[in-house]
A and B are shown apart, each in its own frame.
Chain A
């Protein structure tokens, strides 16, 4: 189920503002091409990792918000559906609701054709039950779609982090290897 977007070649340069980590085929060639010595290269890669971390924090926060928003919208849809179901019967819907923390009161909701939806920014609008259902449904679909895109972004980001971490390890190992061979050459 985990959407594995493994490209056949390192193609994508960036995704929605997140720079892609370039895959290093050969450490020696990479260092020559970038003109950096081992320490500068490692410093650059570490800085990249920090930047990725910051973006990850931001995306995770957005994900948490969306994940909280979706059940809220579903609850609203449930209420609207319940009101619509009651409409035909002629009975009123009696509910207990929270007036203040720990204090509840009883409300009698008569047969109604409309509901008020809180749109945010201190604005509340009256809608017919049908319109409200449609609006809530659309909001729910948008939220779910945004969440999907966000999850894909996070996966891309984590891949770039992994690639960068592996590159760090390889550059470091190559350096250790080089030092060992130079040491061995000196001693012979």
Chain B
């Protein structure tokens, strides 16, 4: 945060709490960006796996559970993959929604804080 030139506005406990909340939200925003990146990659991998499965014509597929590759019948692998894809896509959706909410809250706080402190405060990403 920039040090303003002889800031006139007094900082109240409420202002401090708003600033704290903004900091927390900003941190969460960055965490979410990373989590969303990981979730997107997971979704893509599952898509690729699904496609590979369709292309291959083996009856027994080696499906990774933990550190080992278990031999499983094709249908079971298909249903497992479907479930995993569904879970992954729901997770991605949840993360995107949380990100939107965080951004909205940050925008609100920016309005309030800039409103009171104008130039004395800097809430942008350096």
Contact = CB atoms under 8 A, between A and B. Distances in A.
Interface size on B, as a range, is 20 to 34
A162 B19 contact: yes
Contacts of B19: 162, 166
A125 to B, nearest CB: 18
B13 A23 contact: yes
Interface of A: 1-2, 4, 6, 9-10, 23, 25-26, 75-76, 78-79, 82, 93-98, 104, 107, 155, 158-159, 162-163, 165-166, 169-170, 172-173, 176-177, 180
Contacts of B1: 165-166, 169
B115 interface: no
Given A1-B98, A82-B65, A96-B71, 11 more contacts: A1-B101, A2-B24, A2-B28, A6-B20, A75-B66, A93-B70, A158-B24, A166-B16, A166-B19, A169-B7, A176-B6
B3 to A, nearest CB: 5
A7 to B, nearest CB: 8
Given A4-B24, A9-B13, A159-B23, A173 B6 contact: yes
A12 to B, nearest CB: 13
Interface in B41-74: 62, 65-71
B6 A95 contact: no
Contacts of B21: 4, 6
A78 B62 CA distance: 15
Contacts of B10: 26
27 contacts: A1-B101, A4-B24, A6-B17, A23-B13, A23-B16, A25-B13, A75-B65, A78-B66, A79-B66, A79-B68, A82-B65, A93-B71, A94-B70, A95-B71, A98-B67, A158-B20, A158-B23, A162-B23, A163-B16, A166-B1, A166-B11, A169-B4, A170-B7, A173-B5, A173-B6, A176-B5, A176-B6
Contacts of A2: 24-25, 28, 102
Given A2-B24, A2-B25, A23-B13, A75 B67 contact: yes
